[in-house]
Amino acid sequence: MGAKGKGYGKASGAGTVINAIATYKGSAFGIDLWTYAEVELGDDFKGIEGEIEVEGEESADADTRLIERCVGSVLRRFDLPLRGYVRTRSEIPVGSGLKSSSAAANAAVVATLDAIGEEANALDAIRIGVDAALDVGVSITGAFDDACASLLGGFVITDNKRRELIKRTEKDSEVLVLVPHEKAFTADTDVKQSRLIAPWVNIAYELALEERFEDAMTLNGFLYCAALNFDPEPMVKALECGVQGVSLSGTGPSFVALVDDEKGERLGEVWSGLGVEGKIIRSRVNNKQNFS
Q: Using CA of residue 182, residue 186, residue 191, residue 194, what is the dihedral sign?
A: positive
Contact between 117 and 79 (Cβ < 8 Å):
no
Instruction: Please check the confidence at residue 95 and state whether its pLDDT lies above 90.
Output: no
CA distance linking residue 201 with residue 286, whole number of Å: 25
Question: Would you state the pLDDT for residue 52?
Answer: 93
Radius of gyration of the chain (CA): 18
Q: How many CB atoms sit inside 10 A of residue 121's CB? A: 9
Interacting residues of 219 by C-beta distance below 8 A, sequence separation 6+: 200, 203, 204, 207
CA distance linking residue 165 with residue 50, whole number of Å: 30
Q: Domain 174-284, what fold?
A: Alpha-Beta Plaits (3.30.70)
Instruction: Please check the confidence at residue 188 and state whether its pLDDT lies above 70.
Output: no
Interacting residues of 79 by C-beta distance below 8 A, sequence separation 6+: none
Average pLDDT in the chain: 92
Q: How many CB atoms sit inside 10 A of residue 251's CB? A: 26
Instruction: Find the helix or strand (DSSP H, E) in which 39 lies.
Output: strand 25-41
Q: Please confirm whether the linkage preceding 93 is cis (ω < 30° from 0).
A: no
Secondary structure class of 24 (helix, strand, coil): coil
Domain ranges for the chain: 5-169, 174-284
Q: Which amino acid is at 140?
A: I
**Higher-pLDDT residue of 172, 138:** 172
Give Cα separations from 34 to 86, 90, 188, 215 (angstroms).
Answer: 16, 6, 25, 27
Question: Would you state the pLDDT for residue 4?
Answer: 55
For the stretch 40-81, pLDDT in tens is 998 888 899 999 998 877 655 678 999 999 999 999 999 998
Q: Domain 5-169, what fold?
A: Ribosomal Protein S5; domain 2 (3.30.230)
Interacting residues of 177 by C-beta distance below 8 A, sequence separation 6+: 15, 31, 98, 249, 254, 255, 256, 257, 280, 281, 282, 283
For the stretch 123-165, pLDDT in tens is 999 999 999 999 998 877 779 999 999 999 999 999 999 999 9
CA distance linking residue 84 with residue 62, whole number of Å: 18
| Backbone torsions φ then ψ of 132, nearest 5 degrees | -65, -40
For the stretch 208-240, pLDDT in tens is 999 999 999 999 999 999 999 999 999 999 999
CA distance linking residue 29 with residue 14, whole number of Å: 5
